[in-house]
């Protein structure tokens, strides 16, 4: 019988909640709101579980809205204190919330079959209880520097928390302009530079100059890497 690995992320109760304009459903738009990834309970899929947990933590740390907050307690300890089974039911989840003093938390399960991982995450607490995210991917994705694994973690967190943005540094030889990403204005270029926030993935960046001239390019925004974008005209000599 397949054993199940438990993933847990506990959401610190001090987070203030509001809705970002581009995310639905969304829980927070505050910068660097703390979210603690507790770890993984015992299970036979430790390598896959550890890799996904690391990716979740790293995604939070790299994002603008959230940061990974380490806490001095493990999920195993909370489950033991609540006298719960390895996979807690609704009653046990409520006990864990009371013991930890947390109003909301994310928890989930991970299974592996025929080389494929299925991970399911739940958001517990208040009116968010029952919100889920499902991830399916190859069991070979255990490299903690794998951008594909980070994008997968970002996908799961986005399903639960709403859109997650990452910093992008824009530079240009042009002094001023409006920065548009996928037809949405995200910032203004001043003194040939701007810092903007964009979700991970493939996007179309445009720099609209004061005279309405447009400089455009396609860019893949990454979770792990520092994102630098140059928006310049390319001079093509006459033949």
The residue-averaged pLDDT of 7-15 equals 38
Is CATH 1.10.287.130 correct for 165-230? Answer: no
Q: What band does 122 get if pLDDT is binned at 50, 70 and 90?
A: confident
- Residue 40: what pLDDT? 63
- Domain range summary for the chain, segments of one domain joined by +: 5-161, 165-230
User: What's the rounded Cα separation, in Å, for the pair 173 and 209?
Assistant: 11
Pick 5-161's CATH classification: 3.90.1150, 3.40.50, 1.10.3470, 1.10.10: 3.40.50
134/67: higher pLDDT: 134
**For 70-111, how does the pLDDT look when each residue is reduced to its tens digit (9 = 90+)?**
777 777 788 889 998 888 888 988 888 788 877 777 787 898
Give the pair of three-digit tokens for residue 68.
């990974």
Sheet holding 184-190, edge to edge: 214-221, 201-208, 176-181, 184-190, 193-199, 165-171, 227-230
Which letter does DSSP use for residue 12 in this model? P
pTM, entire model: 0.80
CA–CA distance from 108 to each of 8, 51, 97 (Å)? 6, 14, 15
Which letter does DSSP use for residue 67 in this model? E
**For 27-55, how does the pLDDT look when each residue is reduced to its tens digit (9 = 90+)?**
444 567 777 777 665 568 889 988 888 89
């Amino acid at each position: 019988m397949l054993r199940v690995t438990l993933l847990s992320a506990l959401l610190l109760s001090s987070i203030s909640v509001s809705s970002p304009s581009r995310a639905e459903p969304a829980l927070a738009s505050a910068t660097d709101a703390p979210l603690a990834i507790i770890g993984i309970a015992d299970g036979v899929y430790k390598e896959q579980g550890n890799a996904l947990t690391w990716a979740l933590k790293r995604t939070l740390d790299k994002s603008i809205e959230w940061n990974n907050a380490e806490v001095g307690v493990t999920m195993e300890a909370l489950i033991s204190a609540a006298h719960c089974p390895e996979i807690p039911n609704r009653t046990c989840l409520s006990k864990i919330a009371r013991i930890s003093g947390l109003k909301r938390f994310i928890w989930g399960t991970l299974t592996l079959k025929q080389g494929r991982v299925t991970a399911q995450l739940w958001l517990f607490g208040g009116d968010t209880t029952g919100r889920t995210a499902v991830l399916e991917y190859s069991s070979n994705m255990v490299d903690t520097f794998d951008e594909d694994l980070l994008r997968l973690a970002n996908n799961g967190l986005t399903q639960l928390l709403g859109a997650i943005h990452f910093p992008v540094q824009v530079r240009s030889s042009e002094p001023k302009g409006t920065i548009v990403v996928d037809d949405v204005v995200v910032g203004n270029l001043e003194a040939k530079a701007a810092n903007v926030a964009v979700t991970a993935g493939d996007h179309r960046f445009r720099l609209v100059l004061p005279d309405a001239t447009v400089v455009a390019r396609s860019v893949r925004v990454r979770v792990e890497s520092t994102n630098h974008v140059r928006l310049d005209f390319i001079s093509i000599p006459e033949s």
